[in-house]
Chain A
């Protein structure tokens, strides 16, 4: 008696999705890092990398080979186990988050009812990983950066979750597939323009995007790296692929954040004009958002740490509260 057909197909499907998602994350890390150098070069009237391959397209491969050939050095006096575990703890949740994101109506590794909650639960581990990496390095700059990571992530998690709570009140589900399915049709059906639910919806999207930048530690919120004050922040002592994993995780987090913004506010796989819904629309929206992330990084200077915390506690959180109350009132009146 052999194994049942269904069982084998389930295993094959699972394996393919795991491999595919890891490949997707790594590919995005490679080519978004190239964009990260090409796009500002374009802004600043430079060429950017252009030597390796046509238009510098093979530059990520060269970078990868360079990282792989470097030795992993461990600082004397550091906690070796945690030091080596931290990059893994940072990258694993990012890839796990990708598993619940619906890329199109049929393409998504797992369609679970609590998809939205799953993403926030997994990304909680990522903060712990970055912080342990900074602490285990036995380096004062890395320790300062680790303390900053937590202050920043706690501060920005609150408005993020408040905005999400308001959104869930409107959609009445945590299932990401269902949230996208609700936004079918032209662009005024998208959650960002659901003004009858709350007139502050576009603002909620802005809060979400800002918090997403802060949660993935991107400029102008890159306080954990802050190369002009903290050498390389939490990653100072990491070399070779240890650093490489943090690097891949940063881009994987951007991809997850932009995908989530697309799913929650921009109608996922639906076309703005109600034509030909599918994977391509999801990808277009996601990469436009990724471009915006890079754009923001090269347009705004890094804020001071106090300014960053003030922005969250004194501005974003009250605003998110107002949005939440307004949504509740509108729901009650409707």
Chain B
């Protein structure tokens, strides 16, 4: 048995990649087919975790950690919170037989996936001259605030509008305690 470190490394790499992909796709499937809304959110969280793993696998630890912090830590929890405010003990949804609808959605999803895959396959990918190892954070910050500064500011305006909108919606339901 030839157990060179190099073979082990490549085997381990393949195993790690496969497991992250399985987690991502499994979470996504769980999010779609689950009958309880909470389980769907859990599937979503699982999918995000798998995606974070893939980012880490691609030498981008910052993106991986941000994925966990924002998507698992903020988005999933906010969805859960919204659910608890509306219906804390949601019951499994009783789905009737809607074969036509399900077949149609499956078709659309399949077409979308096929289109994306062909697009990925056809497009030419830009390769970086050297894979960056280690600290990419200062570079990322510089690019975000100088080269893409305008887009960055625009996104913050969008978020500000969302906050203002939430305030308006929340305010209209309240009366002053007079």
Chain A residues bordering chain B, tally (CB within 8 A)? 34
B77 on the interface (CB 8 Å rule)?
yes
A128 on the interface (CB 8 Å rule)?
yes
Chain B positions 111-164 with a Cβ under 8 Å from a chain A Cβ: 134-135, 137
Contacts of A150 in B (CB 8 A): 77, 80-81, 84
* Chain A contact residues: helix, strand, loop or mixed: helix
* Chain B contact residues: helix, strand, loop or mixed: helix
A73 on the interface (CB 8 Å rule)?
no
Contacts of A128 in B (CB 8 A): 45, 72-73, 76-77, 80
- Tell me how far the C-beta of A309 lies from the nearest C-beta in chain B, rounded to whole angstroms: 14
Chain B positions 15-35 with a Cβ under 8 Å from a chain A Cβ: none
Contacts of A147 in B (CB 8 A): 81, 84-85, 88
Contacts of A125 in B (CB 8 A): 68, 72-73
- Bin chain B's interface residue count: 20 to 34
Q: How far is the CA of A222 from the CA of B147 in the complex (A)?
A: 46
A1 on the interface (CB 8 Å rule)?
yes
User: In the complex, are the beta carbons of A82 and B80 less than 8 A apart?
Assistant: no
Partner of B69, one of A1, A120, A151: A120
Partner of B5, one of A3, A113, A143: A3
Contacts of B66 in A (CB 8 A): 117, 121
User: In the complex, are the beta carbons of A121 and B68 less than 8 A apart?
Assistant: yes
Q: How far is the CA of A136 from the CA of B39 in the complex (A)?
A: 10
Q: How far is the CA of A112 from the CA of B135 in the complex (A)?
A: 10
Contacts of A154 in B (CB 8 A): 77-78, 81
- Tell me how far the C-beta of B160 lies from the nearest C-beta in chain A, rounded to whole angstroms: 15
Q: How far is the CA of A132 from the CA of B78 in the complex (A)?
A: 13
Residues of B at the A interface (CB closer than 8 Å) are 2-5, 8, 36, 38-39, 42, 45, 61-62, 65-66, 68-69, 72-74, 76-78, 80-81, 84-85, 88-89, 134-135, 137
Given pairs A82-B39, A118-B65, A154-B77, 9 additional interface contacts (CB within 8 A)? A7-B5, A117-B62, A121-B66, A124-B69, A124-B77, A128-B72, A132-B38, A146-B84, A151-B81
Residues of A at the B interface (CB closer than 8 Å) are 1-4, 7, 79, 82, 112-114, 117-118, 120-125, 127-128, 131-132, 135-136, 138, 140, 143, 146-147, 150-151, 153-154, 174
